[in-house]
Structure 1
Amino acid sequence: MLEDMRLFATIVEQTSLNKAAERLNLSQPALSRRLARLEAELEVDLFRRVGKRLELTPAGQVTYEFALELRRFHGSYLQKLNAYKSSEAHDATIGASLTTLQTTLPDLVKTMTEKHPNLEIKVVTGKSHEIAELVKERKVDFGIVASSVIDDPAITSLPLFDDHLILVLPRNHIILERTHIEMADLQNLPMILFSPGTWYRTMTDELLKKYNLKPDVRMEIDSFEAIIRLLSACRAGSLLPRSYLREQVLVDNDLYLAPIQELEETRRTTFLIHGDPAWLAPSTRFLIEETTAYFQRESVRYKST
């Protein structure tokens, strides 16, 4: 049936048996017999002749649409099947939380595509438990989330790196005139915080409550980039994940990191999660290995800075 539909679609697209036979490297009588056999099997006429041209009948139009769908699904199948034959990936779908998408994924995607120019990466966002479900349903190749999924035997969690919040301030902020900054200095400090409901904001609120601190919250924004750009203009500070604050980000926005020991209590591990190893294509296993190696290198570089 697959081969018959391929021949039929070629006849439709060439609009004549002679042209189709030439394209398919068949004789015209042989192609005519194949068409007649297909029509007999389906018990319908697929074409009507208009002069020297062939036009589709209504049944032929329906059959052609089916042939196109069959061609598309067959191509997709072959592409997926090829992933099990080679460790060279041509596409990857990664699941990530919104905060992971902003803090972790951009540099990873840039590194991976520079190393593999033909690699196409798609990203699906969601909450950690939603990404875990996508991994289990094999709708993503793997996920990167800021929590492990140790209670689900269908998912493997690989630790990538530890992160924690850190105080970031404009370099000309008056508080930096002090020789030592403590948690108490956050009291009434003008600040821009991440929007409520996110892990970073929840952790921030818990920390401030623990130390009975109330900063002067000027803005609540759900974009790390927007917070970074507004700090100097608002002469405000913020508590942001250390992993996001690359040296170039600090230089470009004239910012300074003010270490406070208590902020390391907000430590959290980001994990790569994937499903049953038996279902992983060699190309996916290769990308997972490269991803974990990338974060190992980044962790070493982060600790040295």
Structure 2
Amino acid sequence: MDQQLLVFVTVAEKENFSRAAEQLHMTQPAVSQHIQALEREFGTRLLERNNKYVRLNKAGEIVYHHAKEILRLHTRMHDLVDDLMNTPSGNLIIGSSYTFGEYVLPHVIARLRDRYPKIKPTIMIHNTKEIMDLIARRQLDAGIVEGEYQHEKLSIEPFADDEMHIIVSSDHRLAKKEKVTVRELEEETWIVREQGSGTREATDKMFARLELSPTNMMEFGSTQIIKESVEAGMGVSLLSSWAIRKEIRLGMLCIVKLPETPITRKFSLVTQANPFRTKALDIFLDMLRNNEVLPSLVGRV
């Protein structure tokens, strides 16, 4: 059954029997036989075929969705059993929100790979809401998200503080001022992340706390684009100290001095509420809990 499901998923994703056979190192007739056997088992066709494409029908979409889950569980089961007798190894799929994933996680993974070269990490970057959804659907082993949350199906553990600063370009009129008022900031164009982002959530909370209502806002889906836009003089923003440390050190961006800042938020580890974890996942989580990399990064701001 597992082989049939693997073949089916590969055909569905490649949308072609020949390409699926090539990836699986099988003959095309063998791939066709597995698909036919699976369709006989379900008593219905799962794929629509013609000379140009192979596509899932409604029944195929149901089987594909569950087959992906079954194959993931099968791989995880083997990893867990293998962990009992061998050194830490295997795949580790990590999801992270943009700030941590782009500016901190690479340093953590470098340390992990240096110590445990048999662990093979994969990183997926999404906003906080999407990471939570992917872990709930068991498509990720662990995630790092911005903020503190509760979820009945997930284990959520705050593990690090993050300071967020209001930033402007180095030649902005507010860059050299000793004190800046809320009213001055209200007159600026604010460049913010999209809804669903932890950085956007922190920004909205700051607006509410300071009773700051910007007259002009631009919404971008990338922290890097926001930094470039602020540096170009397009406006101001609120970003993590981890994201801006290089630009501050090089004098490309400046931190606006406001009594109510920096804004502090939590980063949280998110995993399945499940006692069975691979050694690779436990090692990764322990590295984050022990703050092996974070202090050195924060010290560079």
Task: Name the residue aligned to 2:106.
Answer: 106
Match of 2:265 among 261, 265, 268: 268
1:41 paired residue number: none
SS in 2 for 1:112: helix
Match of 1:14 in 2: none
* 2:279 paired residue among 279, 282, 292: 282
Please list the CA deviations of residues 84-129 of structure 1 after superposition, one character each: whole Å capped at 9, or x if unmatched.
4334233211123345434543333344334444432223455646
Q: Does structure 1 retain, via aligned residues, the 8 Å contact 2:190–2:216?
A: yes
The answer as to whether partners of 1:183 and 1:262 remain within 8 angstroms in 2 is no
Q: Against the structure 1 CA distance between its residues 121 and 159, is the aligned structure 2 distance closer, same or farther, given a 3 Å change threshold? A: same
After TM superposition, the structure 1 = structure 2 runs for residues 84-95 of structure 1, keeping only pairs within 5 Å, are 84-95=84-95
Partners of 2:209 and 2:90 in 1: CA distance: 48
Aligned to 1:230: 229
Runs of 4+ in 1 over 6 A off after TM superposition: 58-61
Q: Deviations over 1:221-244 (max 9, x none)?
A: 111111112223225322112232
Using the alignment, how far apart are the partners of 2:205 and 2:240 within structure 1?
A: 15
In structure 2, distance between residues paired with 1:135 and 1:290? 20
Name the structure 1 match of 2:199.
Answer: 200
Instruction: Describe the superposition over 1:182-221 as per-residue Cα deviations: whole angstroms up to 9, x where unpaired.
Output: 4333131244222345332343234334434344636321
RMSD: 4.0
Contact 2:92-2:281 at 8 Å conserved across structures: yes
1:301 shift after superposition: 5.5
Q: Which amino acid aligns with 1:268?
A: R
Query: Any idea what SS the aligned residue of 1:180 has?
Result: coil
TM-score, normalised via structure 2 length: 0.62
- Give the paired residue count: 241
More displaced stretch, 119-128 vs 279-288:
119-128
Q: Distance in 2 between matches of 1:303 and 1:236?
A: 27
The runs of 5 or more residues in structure 2 that have no matched partner are: 4-26, 38-70
CA distance in 2, matches of 1:92, 1:118: 11
Q: CA deviation at 1:271?
A: 0.9
Indicate the percent of aligned positions where both proteins have the same amino acid: 18
Give the match for residue 159 of structure 1.
158
1:145/1:198 CA distance change after superposition, 3 Å: closer
For 2:163 and 2:237, the matched residues in 1 are separated by 13
Quick one: distance in 2 between partners of 1:191 and 1:129? 22
Contact persistence 1:161–1:299 (CA under 8 A): no
The one-letter code sitting in structure 1 at the alignment partner of 2:238 is: L
Kindly provide the amino acid, as one letter, of the partner of residue 254 in structure 1. M
Q: What's the CA shift for 1:280?
A: 0.8
Judging changes above 3 Å, is the alpha-carbon distance between structure 1 residues 93 and 180 closer, same or farther for their aligned structure 2 residues? Answer: same
Q: Once the two structures are superposed, what CA deviation does each residue of 1:42-89 show, in whole Å capped at 9, x if it has no partner? A: xxxxxxxxxxxxxx9x899848x99xxxxx99x957556323433423
* Alignment partner, residue 255 of structure 2: 257
Which runs of no fewer than 5 residues in structure 1 stay unpaired?
A: 6-55, 67-71
- Find the structure with the greater CA-based Rg: 1
Is 1:302 matched with 2:298? yes
Q: Is the 8 A contact 2:242 2:297 kept in 1?
A: no
- Look up the equivalent residue of 2:182 and give its one-letter code: M
In 1, distance between residues paired with 2:122 and 2:203?
31
Q: How does 1:135-150 map to 2 (within 5 A)?
A: 135=135, 138-150=138-150
Quick one: distance in 2 between partners of 1:269 and 1:279? Answer: 26
Question: TM-score, length-normalised on structure 1?
Answer: 0.62
CA contact (8 A) 2:165 2:241 kept: yes
Partner of 1:171: 170
Q: In the aligned structure 2, how far is the partner of 1:128 from the partner of 1:197?
A: 6
Give 1:168 shift: 1.2
Q: Post-superposition shift, 1:134?
A: 4.4
| Structure that is richer in helix per residue | 1
Cα gap change, 1:255/1:232 in structure 2, threshold over 3 Å: closer, same or farther? Answer: same
**Structure-2 separation of matches of 1:182 and 1:224:** 25
Aligned amino acid, residue 286 of structure 2: E
Which residue number corresponds to residue 44 of structure 2? Answer: none
Question: C-alpha separation between the residues in 1 aligned to 2:249 and 2:109?
Answer: 22
Distance 2:87 2:129 in 1: 29
